Amino acid sequence: MKYKILYDRIKCEDNLVCVAECPKLWKLNSSTGKVSLKGSKETKLGSKIFELVIEKKDLNACRKAEAGCPKGAIKINELKE
Ligand code: SF4
């Protein structure tokens, strides 16, 4: 089973909750102070919305980041096989 993370860069306030919960996939750019989702690419859904497909092994940590994000900037959807 695979999952898709959608990350809304516009909603994000760079408070690092996701970086703390899931440092494997989220990182802080220390020179800009901006958070990003490692390896993601911008979607056609709208500017500044990024997506990344992940494996089940990374789901737990990502769910914690999703639940902890105070801005609702992270959504995780299950992908159909
Ligand atoms: S937890 Fe949400 S608001 Fe905070 S840095 Fe991560 S995506 Fe942005």
Q: What is the pLDDT of residues 27-45, one digit of tens each?
A: 999 999 999 999 999 998 7
| pLDDT at site 80 | 86
In this prediction, residue 33 carries a pLDDT of: 96
Does the CB atom of residue 16 touch ligand 1 within 6 A?
yes
Q: Whose CA is nearest to atom 2 of ligand 1?
A: 69
Q: What does the pLDDT read at residue 81?
A: 72
User: What is the tens place of the pLDDT at every residue in 42-68?
Assistant: 998 777 999 999 999 999 999 999 999
- Among the four given CATH numbers 3.30.70.20, 3.40.640.10, 3.20.20.150, 3.60.110.10, the one describing domain 2-78: 3.30.70.20
Task: State the Cα–Cα distance between residues 71 and 16, nearest whole angstrom.
Answer: 12
- The model's pTM is 0.94
Domain ranges of the chain: 2-78
Q: DSSP H helical segments within the chain, as ranges?
A: 17-21, 59-68
**Gap from CA of 57 to ligand 1 centroid (Å):** 21
What residues form DSSP beta bridges with 49? 8
Verify whether ligand 1 is closer than 6 Å to residue 18 (CB atom).
Answer: yes
7 Cα nearest atom in ligand 1: 7
pLDDT at 25: 98
